[in-house]
Amino acid sequence: MCQVSKYINPFTDFGFKKIFGEPNSTEILKSLLNDILKFEGEDKIKEIIFKNGELLPEAPEERKAIIDLLCEDEKGSFFIVELQKVSQEHFQSRALYYTSFPIQQQGLKGGWNFELTPVYFIGLLNFEIEKFKHTKNYLHHGKITDIYTNEIMSNTLNMVYLEIPKLKKTKEELSNHLEWWIYMFQNLHLMSDIPQEWKSDVIGRAFKKAEFAKMPKAQQENYHKNLKTYRDLVNSMDFAIKEGMREGMREGREEGREEGLQEGLQKGLQVGKKEGLHEGEKNKAIEIAKNLLDVLDVETIAIKTGLSFEEINQLK
């Protein structure tokens, strides 16, 4: 078993669910959600219950959804919490699709009057969204609004994204509790101890749950396996993007003009992200998929690796 840091990486599937998704993690998750949604006073989440993360459609032939965490508060509001490790094509469309399940499931039989409780999609992103590159804001909260007046038309559907890499601060520069959480995501696996000012805070509980040496041996082994999968995925994406940029630059030079260079760069980036460019990257994705066969369903493996359902079924 390879050597690991004192605390587990919260960007691994295992690490995220260990810290935020266990039955005794509700206080930790409530704190994070209240900070992200800026809930205070009467609006603050007081109780939270974990629900089954497998969302099933009404008809068997329809597509189901597998999410990281699904929970409900004391007011009946639903919270879908998704950790997204790498940028993915149509990510925001997938997020919107996920929110449709809790909305549909509120359609009670009998004399239902179409009253809906709010549904929140919380995306914890380890990348920056292209359309928000122009702003330093790392937190985005979307609702259905009137495009002419910007007035909110409905509070039911909430799309919330936290761009974790956008925070560029040292620990001493952090200005609010949400930034403490973001800094923890960025640095937990690099730290050797809990910062003194966090020890009496709920974030201190997150550190204690993330301590590798105190986990049972079986969990340590699961974490090592999951950490390898995460590293392979990140390395594959990094390599694909770099190769895409090189390919784009070559195309731009061949066209012999500045516009061609820019178009080539963009095309290369897109190809690198979507296809991985080389067979070697495809083989890496296959190896990752093999490691996940025993722990995840085909759809989730497809999302995490970019392989098709048919390719993953062939591996089985």
Buried b (16+ CB within 10 A) or exposed e, 164-186: bebbeeeeeebeeebbbbbbbbb
Single-letter code of the amino acid located at 191? M
| pLDDT single digits (tens) 91-145 | 888 889 888 888 888 876 566 778 889 999 999 999 999 899 999 999 999 999 9
Q: Is the pLDDT of residue 153 over 80?
A: yes
Residue 73 belongs to what H/E stretch? strand 69-73
User: What is the DSSP annotation of 220-280?
Assistant: HHHHHHHHHHHHHHHHHHHHHHHHHHHHHHHHHHHHTSHHHHHHHHHHHHHHHHHH-SSHH
Average pLDDT over residues 249-256: 58
The answer to whether the beta carbons of residues 116 and 158 sit under 8 Å apart is no
| pLDDT single digits (tens) 25-49 | 999 999 999 999 999 888 999 999 9
Our CA angle for 233, 234, 240, nearest 5°, is: 90
Alpha-carbon gap, residue 219 to 242, rounded angstroms: 34
First-to-last alpha carbon distance for the chain, in angstroms, is 26
Q: In 3-state terms, what secondary structure has residue 119?
A: strand
> Where do the structural domains in the chain lie, given as residue ranges?
13-210, 218-315
Residue 193 tokens read as 């101890």
| pLDDT single digits (tens) 229-240 | 887 776 666 555
| pLDDT single digits (tens) 193-208 | 999 999 999 999 999 9
Nearest Cα neighbor of 64 from 48, 50, 52 is 52
Q: Is the pLDDT of residue 228 over 70?
A: yes
